[in-house]
Structure 1
Amino acid sequence: MHLNNLELRGCKNDSELLEVVNLCDAAFVETPHEYFQRHITKDNTLKYEDTRILIKDGVIVSSVQVFPRSIYVNKEKISFAGIGNVATHPTFRGKGFAATVLNDALEYSIKSGFDCSMLTTTLNRYYEKFGFNTVIRRKVCFSKLGNESPLIQVINFHEKIEELNSIYATYNENKVGPIVRNEDYWKSQYLFCDEDKKLFLALYKSNRIHAYIRAKIADDKVLILEFASLHNAQESFLVLSQQLAAKVQLHSFEMLLSDDELDNLGLLKSENFIQDKELMISFLNNDLKETVKNLLTQPNKITFHLTDFF
């Protein structure tokens, strides 16, 4: 689409993707260049055209990425477009370019047949103008003492993808919100995920993975990004979190948890709860069942693993 001397479309090649990386780097100076390079160029689920751009005089001045995903809603699979890397070059701010590209991205998502769209932000009022509503989540703060177990190892990811995928699906398919994964998605996610690979730990029983946990250190706390277990989730979570505490010599933990997971992991008596309002959702498919919409917008109902952050 051409608007005066502006061109609105999807990317066409790697060169334009790299230009978007540099654009995001200029727009968000406090975020490392490597972060954008990883998320924009390492996600193999993306097609070129999923990165929407506004070009002025031959230069990309604004961009939005549309991440094609599906989520579980009580075993049902719902398609959604993740909206990320909404950026405008500082020189061209205040001209409505971000709104133009965002509207294009949402139109593109509707034409692509997505049921809904989700994003994370601290600018909720801005995105409300585009039909997004805030989904209330709960950040749980708790403490664990360190204790090492010989049954836990740093995972050899590339040898264990099939096992991980099976455990993940078994643990998450009955929940509301987890992303539907296959082995190709796992491989891409492992490349773009902002985690500490040394804190991707597996609990083994009878030489098979029984449970796993993924984490990183942030602000002198252990931020748990994802957990899954075949059985006895509470016991598995306890020994894996204790292993993390021993490994990094920290005892303070944070994790986003739904009501169901809070009970499942035995954290109902945690020390502190913080309301999180960064997740927003917009429904694109008018025929989507009201029961599904209600589940996805119910406070503290959704499970969205931080490993899937786009």
Structure 2
Amino acid sequence: MDPNMMNIHNLESPEKLEGWLDFLEAAFKEKGTPRHYFEAHVKNDPEFDPSQVWVVEKDGSILSTLRLFSRRIYVDGDEVTMFGVGEVSTRPDARGQGLASKLLSHVVSVLQDNKQYAIGCLHSSRKHLQEFYGRRGWQSVPVEYADLSATVDSRQLAQTQPSPLLVVHEVDWKNLDHVRAMSSLYECRMSCCNGPVVRRASTLHDLAYWQNWIGLTDGVCGFLAMSSDRQQALAYCLIKTTTAPVCDSPRRIDLAELCYARSHAASRDGPVPGDAASGLATVAATECLRNCFLSCTSTDLQATQQHTAEVVISMPKTLFDDAVFSAALSSLGLVRAEMASRMDNGFMFILLDQSALSGSAQQRVTSAGREEESSQSPAMSKLLAPLVFSRLDLF
């Protein structure tokens, strides 16, 4: 195909969105991804703008496309601008010509010139695509996950008496007090990590990201623990049921987030001295987890008329190693809990503007650059590891 006959540009006009969605529906048909998935990505993202959609066209027909997602992430305690890449696809009869590669290179070049973003991010679970992006300057930052195989006993979970010091609510995404409480806990927990998306709910625009992008994700279940006087948010937990059980296979649950108030230390019956891992934070986290597990398995238990359900709980290893989570998990007494670890190499990053980073972050990148000359650690791993990135933020 003559490259001179092709046109690379962004959509700019909302009127062209329907044609682009038609293209995505056809391009992803063989993978079974429905059109409403892409429609939700547009509707539920408060940062969406048609100009973030880039296409390769010939004679007015789309041959290849990708979409940018505008985000901010925490790096070294600072907020850094980041673009995500998603909806990458090429028309079947135009594949094998390097169109997606040309498009991605063009877009990255444009973004480097305008310095709108410091970092780019994408995720792919396929090794050949990771290699494809790697050859184009993207670097993998591995994330370790823990898969906990366990038996959930509904009778044992239901026997626990809630603490009089707290009240547990199922998350109501239309309740702004719930959203603001979770946002406060999230910021306290995540702002000191590298990689989490900034979700500060200080404006209606920011609240919309919580309510729509996070809250409208298929399969999300959440619980929020507040102090009994409703003056303080203590913990919240968000779980995504990723796989319904098939025959005798266990239900797979993605424990996406568990955030808690680190400043609280109390026993179930009242304030006591000590650290958060032995105090009210643990009680609140335990209650949130207990309610999430019961909610996720209730349908299975009703269908089988059993009181136990086999589950695989997947979570970032950083969460599994957290003292409060470990104490909460122990309090729940999950039966036959066995843990296996796995690495996800699909998170890939590219650095566009090093000057936008903090001084210490710039030093790590510079140091990694020297090490790369000796075939050692990639710069992005030096910058972001250990990476913390909620799967609810994936694009």
Specify the TM-score bucket, using the shorter chain as the normaliser. 0.7 to 0.9
C-alpha root-mean-square deviation of aligned residues, in Å?
2.7
Offset from partner CA, 1:82-128 (integer Å, 9 cap, x none): 11111112121112211121112212332342111111002210101
Partner of 1:271: helix, strand, or coil?
A: strand
Q: Tell me the number of residue pairs that the alignment of Structure 1 and Structure 2 aligns.
A: 308
TM alignment of 1:191-202, pairs within 5 A: 191-193=212-214, 194-197=217-220, 199-202=221-224
TM alignment of 1:210-225, pairs within 5 A: 210-219=234-243, 220-225=251-256
What is aligned with 1:302? 387
1:48 shift after superposition: 1.7
Question: Hey, what's the Cα distance between the residues in 2 that align with 1:95 and 1:57?
Answer: 17
What is aligned with 2:233? 209
Note closer, same or farther for the CA distance 1:93–1:178 as it changes in structure 2 (3 Å cut): same
Contact 1:12 1:49 (C-alpha < 8 Å) held by counterparts: yes
Question: Hey, what's the Cα distance between the residues in 2 that align with 1:281 and 1:78?
Answer: 13
Note closer, same or farther for the CA distance 1:297–1:103 as it changes in structure 2 (3 Å cut): same
Contact 2:139 2:380 (C-alpha < 8 Å) held by counterparts: no
One-letter amino acid of the counterpart of residue 192, structure 2:
N
Identity %: 19
Alignment partner for residue 123 of structure 2, among 92, 103, 120?
120
Gap regions ≥5 residues in structure 2: 244-250, 263-275, 298-308, 331-336, 369-378
What is aligned with 1:279? 347
Note closer, same or farther for the CA distance 1:14–1:189 as it changes in structure 2 (3 Å cut): farther
Partner of 1:301: helix, strand, or coil?
A: coil
Note closer, same or farther for the CA distance 1:290–1:19 as it changes in structure 2 (3 Å cut): farther
1:64 shift after superposition: 1.1
Partner of 2:142: helix, strand, or coil?
A: strand
TM, length-normalised to structure 1: 0.88
One-letter amino acid of the counterpart of residue 155, structure 1:
V
What is aligned with 1:190? 211
1:210 shift after superposition: 1.8
Note closer, same or farther for the CA distance 1:54–1:230 as it changes in structure 2 (3 Å cut): same
Note closer, same or farther for the CA distance 1:257–1:186 as it changes in structure 2 (3 Å cut): farther
1:33 shift after superposition: 1.6
Gap regions ≥5 residues in structure 1: none
Partner of 2:386: helix, strand, or coil?
A: coil
What is aligned with 1:262? 321
Contact 1:23 1:88 (C-alpha < 8 Å) held by counterparts: no
* Deviation larger for 122-131 or 37-46: 37-46
What is aligned with 1:140? 146
Note closer, same or farther for the CA distance 1:177–1:270 as it changes in structure 2 (3 Å cut): farther
TM, length-normalised to structure 2: 0.70
Question: Hey, what's the Cα distance between the residues in 2 that align with 1:292 and 1:236?
Answer: 39
Q: Which one has the bigger helix percentage? A: 2
What is aligned with 2:14? 14
What is aligned with 2:189? 171
Note closer, same or farther for the CA distance 1:286–1:91 as it changes in structure 2 (3 Å cut): same
Larger radius of gyration: 2
Offset from partner CA, 1:24-78 (integer Å, 9 cap, x none): 2222222122111111343120222111111111122211111111111231122
Offset from partner CA, 1:135-165 (integer Å, 9 cap, x none): 1111111235542466322112232232222
Partner of 1:153: helix, strand, or coil?
A: strand
One-letter amino acid of the counterpart of residue 248, structure 1:
C
One-letter amino acid of the counterpart of residue 293, structure 2:
A
* Deviation larger for 183-192 or 132-141: 183-192
TM alignment of 1:32-181, pairs within 5 A: 32-113=34-115, 114-121=117-124, 122=126, 123-142=129-148, 143=150, 145-146=153-154, 147-148=157-158, 151-159=167-175, 160=177, 161-181=179-199
Question: Hey, what's the Cα distance between the residues in 1 that align with 2:223 and 2:388?
Answer: 20
1:283 shift after superposition: 1.2
Question: Hey, what's the Cα distance between the residues in 1 that align with 2:52 and 2:76?
Answer: 28
2:371 maps to 1:291: no
1:3 shift after superposition: 5.4
